[in-house]
């Protein structure tokens, strides 16, 4: 991770196809595009790889989440349960459709705590959105049972975990809907892009229409298409999709490289007393894009993280203080700071996150460091890195 580390001739060819045709838009201009439909091709490749009936590619992971929610009829005042540890896009997508993000604690999986989910359900809850952060997954079996019991949608935000699996199913395909991001620093990248996957034909059709101004895409004359409902522009460009066509075909080779490098780092850290690792639910297989580990205290974790930086070990993240990925720095959400007036349903129903007790999340995140696993390391570079991280941690214990 990320996929741009291994750009090559395949990406160049796919992009050149688009440039040669001159058609950068995914719809229309049939006669001059020389048979190139890169967005459609990417959708076929994704659906096959993710073992789902349908895939809809869009302009970003944030767009994918927004489109997925809208396609399932989620709207103003509906509550969506999500974790305290995620990227800000998770709650942005919920707010974008007037729904209400309900933050709940994580557990040692660094994802949704199922008990916290159960305790957060109200008569307004419509969706449970686990976010498979840093390459590993929530306990989907338990969350699926909770959703079934309460007639809720299970929407997997798999933006950081493409290629992982749970009980033999690709992440994103276990729930009612799944979403991916293909931004510049993801395991596979389009530069900018995202996708929604589902086995539900109605959700797919809605996503297809909604992401293109409500066009129904029936027939071969774009100007004659009807608009069954309101939509917006979340289209991906053919250039971005072209890069994705090359990258998705490399996904399994990327995963193998990541797994090998991950195991080298993990083997090195397993020798250090006091280091423990995030829990992976039984039946789960990570995509190995990050190695996340715990230290005994917040104070020691801060010390280790600072020492890693001083020793030149880049790509080590202490999420507890991160502006984008942990609730403690989401003042714009807590204060509802917005350029325009927010929907009444949001203002009336959003909890006061400046006062909410998320000490259970703090317990885990305050002691977590995540190591980015790169694709372009050699095995020797990975071993040297493992040794350096292990020595830095050991020195901090002394």
The catalytic residues are 186
| Residues sharing a CB contact under 8 Å with residue 303, sequence separation 6 or more, in sequence order | 396
Strands across the sheet with 284-285, in order? 169-170, 165-166, 284-285
**What are 157's strand-pairing partners?**
131, 179
Could you tell me whether strands 284-285 and 290-294 are parallel, antiparallel, or unpaired per DSSP bridges?
A: unpaired
| Residues sharing a CB contact under 8 Å with residue 140, sequence separation 6 or more, in sequence order | 130, 154, 156, 166, 167, 174, 175, 281, 284
Could you tell me whether strands 316-317 and 368-372 are parallel, antiparallel, or unpaired per DSSP bridges?
A: antiparallel
Q: Which of 109, 108, 106 is nearest to 326 (CA)?
A: 106
112 neighbors 138 (Cβ within 8 angstroms)? yes
Q: E strand or H helix at 383, and its extent?
A: helix 379-397
| Residue 166 main-chain phi, psi, to 5 deg | -140, 125
Per DSSP, the three-state class of 249 is coil
Distance CA 275, CA 296 (A): 8
The DSSP annotation for 210-245 comes to: HTBTT----SS-GGG---SS---B-PPPHHHHHHHH
Q: At CA 312, angle to CA 309 and CA 316, rounded to 5?
A: 50
Per DSSP, the three-state class of 331 is helix
Residue 227 to residues 151, 206, 224, Cα–Cα distance (Å): 30, 11, 10
């Amino acid at each position: 991770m990320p996929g741009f580390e291994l750009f090559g001739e395949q990406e160049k060819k796919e992009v050149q196809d688009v440039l040669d045709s001159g058609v950068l838009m995914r719809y229309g201009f049939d006669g001059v595009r020389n048979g190139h439909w890169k967005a459609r091709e990417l959708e076929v490749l994704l659906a096959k790889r993710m073992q789902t009936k349908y895939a809809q590619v869009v302009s970003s992971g944030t767009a994918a989440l927004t489109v997925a929610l809208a396609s399932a009829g989620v709207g103003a005042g509906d509550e969506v349960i999500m974790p305290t540890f995620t990227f800000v896009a998770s709650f942005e997508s919920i707010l974008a459709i007037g729904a209400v993000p309900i933050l709940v604690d994580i557990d040692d999986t660094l994802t949704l705590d199922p008990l916290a989910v159960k305790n957060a359900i109200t008569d307004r809850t419509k969706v449970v959105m686990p976010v498979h952060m840093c390459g590993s997954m929530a306990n989907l079996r338990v969350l699926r049972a909770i959703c079934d019991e309460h007639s809720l949608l299970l929407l997997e935000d798999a933006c950081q975990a493409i290629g992982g699996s749970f009980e033999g199913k690709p992440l994103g395909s276990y729930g009612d809907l799944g979403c991916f991001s293909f931004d510049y620093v993801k395991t596979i990248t389009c530069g900018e892009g995202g996708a929604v996957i589902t086995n539900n034909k109605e959700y797919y059709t809605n996503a297809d229409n909604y992401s293109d101004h409500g066009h129904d895409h029936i027939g071969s004359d774009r100007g004659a298409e009807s608009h069954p409902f309101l939509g917006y522009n979340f289209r991906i460009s053919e250039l971005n999709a072209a890069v994705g066509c090359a990258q998705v075909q490399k996904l399994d080779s990327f995963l193998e490289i990541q797994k090998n490098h991950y195991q080298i780092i993990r083997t090195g850290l397993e020798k250090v007393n006091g280091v423990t690792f995030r829990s992976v639910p039984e039946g789960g297989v990570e995509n190995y894009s990050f190695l996340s580990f715990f230290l005994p205290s917040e104070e020691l974790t801060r010390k280790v993280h600072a020492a890693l930086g001083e020793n030149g070990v880049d790509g080590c993240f202490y999420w507890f203080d991160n502006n984008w990925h942990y609730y403690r720095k989401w003042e714009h959400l807590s204060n509802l700071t917005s350029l325009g007036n927010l929907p009444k349903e949001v203002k009336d129903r959003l909890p006061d996150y400046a006062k909410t007790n998320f000490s259970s999340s703090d317990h885990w995140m305050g002691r977590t460091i995540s190591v980015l696993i790169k694709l372009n390391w050699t095995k020797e570079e990975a071993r040297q890195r493992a040794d350096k991280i292990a020595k830095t941690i050991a020195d901090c214990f002394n």
